[in-house]
Chain A
Amino acid sequence: MKRLLTILLLMFSLTSYSQCISNQSYTLTPPGPYSPGQVITVNYTLGTFTGVNVNWIHAFQINLGVGWTNLTPTNTPSNIGGSVGNWLWDLQHTYPSGFNFGPGWRFVNTGTAGWGTSATGPFIISFQATVSQTCTADNLSISIEVFDDCTTGGWSNGNCCTDPAYNIYNGVVQVPLIITSNINHY
């Protein structure tokens, strides 16, 4: 009985992790840690997207810690062999299902509204961000989330992909110490 339960749990964990995305990689320039005012460039590659239940890729969301500002897109993902439409940079978008997205790129399917794209990759996105002028050690985490049109609500054919956010950086703002000398008298 215990053995059967273990096998069932194992199967559940395998199917609920990294269902649709594979071969992710990134470059982060310059490498951390970071101080106020620094500008970084992120290049992220998703090698392959293989949707379950005919779910298509629909959006790349960039998750940034509060210590980042001035997020700027520099490379839009391609749509090789994909559906009719284009990738649109958006800071925030609420899908008809109520799913809240942004910032990042979302695919606008001009053939069938609400669907993603049938492209399977590779997808390369790039963006820049700036460390805020701050006096506190604010969060500088960076991660990417990929959503399918099942998650966004444009397609319904069984379970959606449940891939976790892809972590790119964890850290906090390096706030320089202010060390004032003693007061001297000439």
Chain B
Amino acid sequence: MKRILTVLLLSIGISSFAQTTINPDTVCANAVGEQYFVTNTPTSTYQWVVTGGGGTLQTGQGTNSITVDWGGIIGLYPNAIEVIESNAAGCLGAPVLLDVFVLDLSGNPIGPFCEGDPTTPLVGSPVGGSWSGTGVVANSFQPSTGVGNYVLTYTMAGCTTTINVVVNNGPVTGPIQHF
């Protein structure tokens, strides 16, 4: 019984400490209210600095948790976020840094299509994401889905962008007449 309890407690402990951010962190261009944090020591204060990526610190300076609004210029920004902990005696800890990659997705427009048109590959930038939406199979669009307007979504690292695709009616040819 004790062993089971120990395993359960260990599992809870692990799951509550499991959230870690891989360096570099990825954010979407123009994202707002992105929250960053370090484990809190109640008697400590925290000095945050946000540089690069058009980032601006919005809330939380002095605490263990801040929110940041990011700019729209894609790129990797080394040491974009820095925090220095200060304990109750005013002693400073070592700076902790995080690189940030600002990601701006785009999708190549396609169409308009006619119902009978062949399957067309969907291209997103940067490559590596995935497409979803009606008529999308294996990152390609199938006009045979039918006539209509479709919103297709390109997703990567939590960021998204969309394109609109139109499938029109094909020409309706009447029966062959014999004069």
Interface residues of A (CB under 8 A from B): 36-37, 133-135, 175-176, 178-186
Contact = CB atoms under 8 A, between A and B. Distances in A.
A184 B91 contact: no
A183 B83 contact: yes
Given A180-B83, A183-B38, A186-B35, 14 more contacts: A134-B89, A135-B89, A135-B92, A178-B86, A178-B87, A178-B91, A180-B39, A180-B93, A180-B96, A183-B36, A185-B25, A185-B36, A185-B98, A186-B34
B69 interface: no
Given A178-B44, A178-B85, A184 B90 contact: no
A178 B21 contact: no
12 contacts: A175-B91, A180-B83, A181-B96, A182-B20, A182-B21, A183-B81, A184-B20, A184-B21, A184-B36, A184-B38, A185-B25, A185-B98
A180 B85 contact: yes
Interface residues of B, number: 29
Given A182-B21, A183-B96, A184-B20, A176 B87 contact: yes
A183 B66 CA distance: 11
Contacts of A175: 91
Nearest to A177: B93
Nearest to A173: B89
Contacts of A185: 21, 25, 27, 34-36, 98
Contacts of A186: 19, 34-37
A21 B102 CA distance: 75
Interface in B88-122: 89-94, 96-98
Contact of B90 (A37, A135, A181): A135
A178 B90 CA distance: 11
A178 B44 CA distance: 9
A182 B36 CA distance: 10
B39 A181 contact: yes
A184 B20 CA distance: 6
Nearest to B65: A186
A176 B44 CA distance: 12
Instruction: Across the A-B interface, give the 10 residue pairs with the lowest CB-CB distance, nearest first.
Output: A178-B93, A135-B91, A181-B39, A183-B98, A186-B35, A180-B85, A185-B21, A184-B21, A181-B38, A133-B89
